[in-house]
A and B are shown apart, each in its own frame.
Chain A
Amino acid sequence: MKTAVITFPASNCNRDAAMALEKVTGEKPLMVWHRESELPEGVQFVVLPGGFSYGDYLRCGAMASRSPIVKDLVEKANKGLAVAGFCNGFQVLTESGLLPGALMRNKGLKFVCRPEKLKITNSNSRFTSKYGTTTDVTFPVAHHDGNYFADDETLNKLEKQGQVIFRYADNPNGSARDIAGICNEAGNVFGMMPHPERAIDPLHGGTDGLNLFKSIIESI
């Protein structure tokens, strides 16, 4: 299956994301540069990787969300293309309007990097279906601006429609209602601050992240 990872200036988890995709699909993903104006033909799943796109200047993810490639991505995502954003990628997704809410500075004001226990709150989503009866997973977090915020109406709606996919067991950043990962109404766009792509290898962060990639790939 053709997958792609978009690389912005100062993306830094593009390699991590590529490894995860290769491990699950058996094929190297296409690495797409931010200045491209169109995604390559036939791509079925796109990852927006973590990092500090454009140096996090202005607001995290804000400049990347205005890049030529993201314009095309938004159009295609609105027509059903599967997209996931991790960490900075999640920030790009909220900035581009594909996902609701915003990510603010961590409540503790410091960068935080640690393995974080998460609760799967919707195991029927396209990104979690393979987890079966598993309710807890551990993914590393590594961010300075992961404090998820949205107004109550939006949060209520997200919860009611099953769009909250993961919650923190021990909230590291002050996110509203412990939200760690959400998807859009249609269920094809997903974003989370923790790094499932750094949990695909027993020697490095465990393997809890594999099923997330398997779920979405299988759903396509």
Chain B
Amino acid sequence: MDIKTKITPQIVAEHGLSEEEYQIILDRLGREPNINELGIFSVMWSEHCSYKSSRRHLGKFLTKGDRVIQGPGENAGVIDIDDGDAIIFKMESHNHPSYIEPYQGAATGVGGIMRDVFTMGARPIALMNALRFGEPSHWKTKQLVNGVVAGIGGYGNCVGVPTVGGETNFHKGYNGNILVNAMCVGLADADNVFYSAAKGVGNPIFYVGSKTGRDGIHGATMASAEFDDDSEEKRPTVQVGDPFTEKLLIEACLELMATDAIIAIQDMGAAGLTSSSIEMADKGGVGISLNLDKVPQREENMTPYEMMLSESQERMLMVIKPGKEKLAYDIFEKWELDVALIGKTTDTGRLVLRHNRKKVCDIPIAPLADDAPNLDRPYEIPASLPVLNSDEVHETQDYDDALVRIISSPDIASKRWIWEQYDRHVMADTVDSSQSGGDAAIVRIHGKNKAVAISTDCTPRYVQADPYMGGKQCVAETWRNLTCVGADPIAITDCLNFGNPERPEIMGQFVGAIEGMNEACRAFDYPVVSGNVSLYNETNGVAIPPTPAVGGVGLIPDLEYFTTLKGAKEGDTLILIGETQGWLGSSIYLREILRREEGAPPPVNLETEKLNGDYVRKLIRNKRVNAVHDCSDGGLAIAACEMAFAGDIGMHLSRAIGCPTHAWLFGEDQARYLVAVEENSVNPVISTAQAKGVSAQIVGKVGGDRIKADGAFDVSLAGLREKHEGFLPELMS
């Protein structure tokens, strides 16, 4: 593609632009665009960069709060965690590339999300991930799991940021489109956060990091279309990562940020040099002029089109204060990174590119951002599936067998095979991680006695059954998980993975889920501060289950007061906080034992959630509980097993109260926490709960080496653990 390429309707269509969109370009330019300009409009207006289907709905989210320093719209969200410390975090998808090339797709997903965070001045301190694969028996699943996990580990381990937690689901709905969502949490000085607005005219623009190659050209456009049988041919659009360079880039950027040299900084992520330069200029209300001959290039004879659309990794663009150029050169040279002065800010409001002394692009910047399509796609929010009563759900005749089947089922089984490939301890501040199978990871703020808690959650089967309720549940579950370790939940990031928005039912799932999520955010005062939307996750017209993954962050103000699920001790009493009705619709029991996927998901009552959660947090702060675990997938029985595994001690659950045994043990009612309490705390815990209107009942005892439930199962802890640990190694062997 060079400047002489004639713009035909076919070329316009190949760039994913509609006729109307092309007409807007003609109107704004008053002439035909050349191929470079067309390419730039095409990526900037792609779904991936412009959020054209989702923007109007994302605007509904609660995004402000007492602790919010920066909400959505920057590279990542920023929250205040006191003492001059800020936490910067975001979650992002790398679904399409990871399906095509799992190792590099996942690795560059991790690299990209880290850059979003350190671009803003934070040192990355934790990585999380939310993964969804196809059914285990599908021919591609094993290869994808292998590649994705190796890619996440390969990148994060080398950069030296601990991967502390996450979640992994398997379902046939992801056979043709896996989901790889990566989250990064960083720590910065609250008064030294960096933004992307390029202010001032005549300021130098520096390019730093890796050289630009021909990889990843049109990656953003690929992520804005669905797959078909020839998707493998899209491999050249997948980027290749180099964690070594990323590590150097982090250190160099943080070193430069400690000086007073940077006006604005933006990483080159999706749509590379194009989106980074346009976003910086647009936010700063300036123009930008670049000399592409100065761009460090990995390959020969690259055209402006290729340079502007390349998604080569580990690159940054920054506007430097005049006079500080030498400082910048010195630091980047110390870290042996490419650094080049490639242009300057201007007062023209235009993006002007020169190559071989010729002007190869001259377009106004405002239309690229302001005129980006903002579609009001038709949607129909699907009604919830009908409620399934527990008498419509058969009781198992063999509880021992049912428990073993559930504990070794793909979603519930141990993910040790995955997280043992991730360095969880580097940086020496990991207080708790996937290693204990807990509700939230805990990462200490370096040198201080406080910590952040992090959790990623989504229950796609609930969202599929009822997008609105399922959306609420995703947010509520992260809030609950942060509560379980004693943290004050502060804010969330999200990664909204859906199918093709051009279909009203998919758009309806999207809108419904957002409404549910937003309601929960408002009830908990738990704003969305960053996020990402990934649409077109479908193949040959079949969409993934709607998967709005949520990453929650909370603060443990004093590490003297926190809990995990590990601390249950011999003789402790098990108390269940929250009411049990025995909800089996869309439950794991229904799916794994009866092979049925139906029924409304458990209702989420936000008031009860808040009441119960606040009470549990208070118990933790008052040191009333030895262990806490939320009841989620698989209900009370699975919560008890997980607490038993983590503490390496048996559990004995007492007889069902008020509902059939299978509904009592495996029902997935929300707003519930299983807590292990020492004998002398039992009465105070129950009586205070009553006084506050919180449901609390004794449901069993801790001790021995068996997992028992009266009238149901009785199995050895060691035997059950073997089943729990067995699934993944067996699949991957």
Contacts and interface: CB of A to CB of B under 8 A. Distances in A.
Nearest to A115: B435
B425 A198 contact: yes
Contacts of B427: 12, 15-16
Contacts of A140: 425
Interface string A191-220: 000010110110111000000000000000
B242 interface: yes
A204 B446 CA distance: 12
A56 B435 CA distance: 26
Contacts of B336: 9
Nearest to B433: A113
A66 to B, nearest CB: 15
A82 B424 CA distance: 29
Contacts of A57: 244
Nearest to B159: A12
A204 B430 contact: yes
B426 A13 contact: yes
B284 interface: no
Given A16-B426, A52-B247, A55-B243, A114 B431 contact: no
A197 B154 CA distance: 22
Interface in B235-262: 242-245, 247-248
Interface stretch (B135-143, B266-274, B415-423, B568-576): B415-423
B425 A197 contact: no
Interface in B309-347: 335-336
Contacts of B109: none
Most chain A beta-carbon neighbours within 10 Å: one of B160, B335, B429: B160
Interface string B400-444: 000000000000000000011111111111110001000000001
B491 to A, nearest CB: 25
A47 to B, nearest CB: 14
A205 B420 CA distance: 15
A192 B430 CA distance: 22
B277 to A, nearest CB: 28
A15 B428 contact: yes
A16 B162 CA distance: 12
Contact of B421 (A9, A19, A113, A200): A113
A203 B425 contact: no
Contacts of A110: 150, 420-421
Contacts of A15: 427-428, 446
A181 interface: no
B157 interface: yes
Contacts, number: 93
A142 interface: yes
A201 B444 CA distance: 12
A10 interface: yes
A112 interface: yes
Nearest to B335: A9
B582 interface: no
A144 B423 CA distance: 10
A54 interface: yes
Interface hub of A50, A54, A112, A113 (most chain B Cβ within 10 A): A113
A20 B358 CA distance: 58
B444 A204 contact: yes
Given A51-B160, A142-B157, A113 B431 contact: no
A55 B423 contact: no
A203 B444 contact: yes
Interface string B162-203: 000000000000000000000000000000000000000000
Nearest to A51: B160
Nearest to A144: B157
A112 B431 contact: no
Contacts of B248: 9-10
B160 A13 contact: yes
A140 B423 CA distance: 10
A201 B430 CA distance: 11
B482 to A, nearest CB: 18
A56 B158 CA distance: 9
A197 B158 contact: no
B423 A111 contact: yes
B153 interface: yes
Interface in B20-47: none
Interface in B544-582: 559
Interface in A38-86: 50-52, 54-57
A131 to B, nearest CB: 21
Interface of A: 9-13, 15-16, 19, 50-52, 54-57, 110-115, 140, 142, 144, 195, 197-198, 200-201, 203-205
Given A9-B248, A55-B245, A113-B421, 15 more contacts: A10-B158, A11-B160, A16-B426, A52-B157, A54-B244, A56-B158, A57-B244, A110-B150, A110-B420, A113-B157, A113-B422, A142-B423, A142-B426, A144-B157, A205-B425
8 contacts: A9-B247, A111-B423, A113-B157, A115-B435, A142-B424, A195-B425, A198-B428, A204-B429
Nearest first, the 3 A-B pairs at minimum CB distance are A12-B160, A55-B244, A16-B428
